[in-house]
Amino acid sequence: MSKPSFREDILNAGLEVMLRAGYEGASVRDICAAAGAPHGSFTNHFRSKEAFANEVLDRYFAHTKELVKEALDDKSLSPRLRLKRYLDIISGVLADDRWNRGCLIGDFSLETATQSELLRERLEAIFQEWRDPFASCIAEAQTAGEIDSAFDPLDLAEFLLSSWEGAILRMKVERGPAALDRFKNIVFQTVFKELR
């Protein structure tokens, strides 16, 4: 009879532990304990903590893409309102966690980008993939005359995601929604101000 695989349990637990403690703060021992898995199971399934974190990041991003799709594919809303809908969905997720955790993509960007080329390259690819649906939605809003066309949609998508990540960092420090609310209020009255 074969031994049970703890791979999925370890990945699920690792996501939760890393969201709470970050990359550096999440020890393999803590991850295995949270998964109810023996320490040796980690090394059987993952060649390093760095490789494991890369898979955790992919798992987190897959969920993020579902939230992007939920908001930006909702054709019952105008393109501009779809952008706002995404920020509102994320605000709700963060509120459910009482403002105690941020975005794993942003957290890993701060913690690992200077120390792990593997994770830095993955994060760069994630940011590029992440911005594309936003750029499409922004282009749609510009074509519809909903928002100003002075800036390139890709640049606006980069601005939106980068600024939003900054607001999330402030939210974590303040343990409250003020930074998120401030960002949404200002960006939708300036950069994404409705023209019609």
pLDDT tens figures, 43-83: 999 999 999 999 999 999 999 999 999 999 999 999 999 99
pLDDT tens figures, 150-184: 999 999 999 999 999 999 999 999 999 999 999 99
C-alpha neighbours within 13 Å on the C-beta side of residue 143: 9
pLDDT at 134: 98
pTM confidence score: 0.92
Please tell me the distance from the alpha carbon of residue 90 to that of residue 69, in angstroms, as a whole number: 13
pLDDT at 5: 78
Domains of the chain (ranges plus CATH)?
1-46 (1.10.10.60), 54-187 (1.10.357.10)
Contact 161, 137 (CB under 8 A): no
pLDDT tens figures, 16-39: 999 999 999 999 999 999 999 998
Q: How many Å separate Cα 25 from the centre of its chain?
A: 19
Please tell me the distance from the alpha carbon of residue 77 to that of residue 90, in angstroms, as a whole number: 17
Q: What is the mean pLDDT of residues 102-113?
A: 94
Please tell me the distance from the alpha carbon of residue 191 to that of residue 148, in angstroms, as a whole number: 8
pLDDT at 140: 98
pLDDT at 85: 98
Contact 141, 81 (CB under 8 A): no
pLDDT at 4: 62
